[in-house]
Structure 1
Amino acid sequence: MAEDILRTLGYLALGSRMKRLGETLQAQTQALVADTGADLPAAQYPLLEALERLGPTKIGVLAAVLGVAQPGVTRMVDKLEAAGWVETQRDNDDRRVRTVRLTATAARMLDQARKDVWPTIEAAVADACATGTGPLLDRLAALEDALKEAPLARRAAAGRKGGEDGRS
């Protein structure tokens, strides 16, 4: 196996390493979501949950509560609107401002996801995060190794089978 350059750079590459870890978790979470038959990208759940909690909300507010740049939220909203998950309405005073709200379909899907999908994902990620001790870089290495050894899907399947730890 090739040397993991990001690991060898230690704290110098922490941001890149965290981004890689985030992308790994996102991809593995998406695989679990796809197994449920949901056709919504897992990355969109936080935006939909924010709308569920806040009600109809302006894009700028969504960007602030999610900690994401406004152009990114605008792109997400456009995709969600095209798919029928949200509806938007232009502000009467400033046509550049849009308020976003969930559709009834999205609200039902979120309710179902909270019951059937999110607990499985939560348990699988918690299992992966239970590895490693000590300094942050050692814990990151343990988490990366754990996700390679037993991806979230395997951990989730093991959890459904009765609490096995999912590791090989």
Structure 2
Amino acid sequence: MHMDIEDVVRELGHLSLGTRLKRIGETLQAQTQEVLAARGFEQPAAWFPLLAALDRLGALSVGELSQAVGVSQPVVTRSLRGLEDDGLVESGTAEEDRRVRRIALSRKGRGLVQRSKDRAWPVIEAAVAEACIGLRGDLLAQLAALEDALAEQPLAERVRRQQA
């Protein structure tokens, strides 16, 4: 016997908005990871905003990178360890202040960003935009519509259909 369990977070409305946004973010990130993997990118999806920021803005300090992507410095520092281990970024000290570490894309990192721009980012953007097409009305209704759209047709499926 299968019982439909009420989605309490959805039903609580504004009271659980933070949890709901986090859940949608996690869904989008997991589905993005799937699309990236299908296109031959094995790096964590969470690294790509950092790579994009370094591509757009050039070498940055950890604090500047944190500001550019809107996540805390400890989160950026953790990701940077992986990015450095993978050889995607390089760091050195700033000319003007030797205490400040500057992070920049390595040659390998620039290549990865270019391949991402060619093979992954446009299709991911199009799939997310398509999932958002039906959003109308108040924020909670929009979140419900987006959650439903991602559940009915994950990003990977949208990408496959768009490519067909």
Q: TM-score, normalised by structure 2?
A: 0.92
Secondary structure at the residue paired with 1:42?
A: coil
- Equivalent in the alignment of 2:59: 56
Q: 2:22 matched to 1:23?
A: no
- Equivalent in the alignment of 1:120: 123
* 41-50 vs 25-34, which moves further: 41-50
What does 1:149-164 correspond to in 2, within 5 Å? 149-161=152-164
RMSD: 1.3
- Equivalent in the alignment of 1:109: 112
Q: 2:11 matched to 1:8?
A: yes
More RCO (CA 8 Å, sep 6+) = 2
What letter matches 1:93 in structure 2? R
The alpha-carbon deviation at position 148 of structure 1 amounts to 0.6
1:109, 1:20 → 2: CA distance? Answer: 28
Q: Gaps (5+ residues) in structure 1? A: 162-168
What letter matches 1:2 in structure 2? I
Secondary structure at the residue paired with 2:53?
A: helix
What letter matches 1:105 in structure 2? K
The alpha-carbon deviation at position 85 of structure 1 amounts to 0.7
Deviation by residue 1:82-120 (Cα, 9 ceiling, x = unmatched): 1111111245732xx321111111101111111211111
Deviation by residue 1:38-97 (Cα, 9 ceiling, x = unmatched): 121111111111111221211111111111111111111111001111111245732xx3
What does 1:24-103 correspond to in 2, within 5 Å? 24-90=27-93, 93-94=98-99, 97-103=100-106
1:21, 1:13 → 2: CA distance? Answer: 12
Q: TM-score, normalised by structure 1?
A: 0.90
2:112, 2:14 → 1: CA distance? Answer: 40
1:47, 1:112 → 2: CA distance? Answer: 15
Query: Which aligned segments of 4 or more residues in structure 1 are displaced greater than 3 angstroms?
Result: 90-93
Q: Gaps (5+ residues) in structure 2? A: none
2:157, 2:148 → 1: CA distance? Answer: 14
1:80, 1:138 → 2: CA distance? Answer: 38
Identity, in percent, stands at 48
The alpha-carbon deviation at position 141 of structure 1 amounts to 0.6
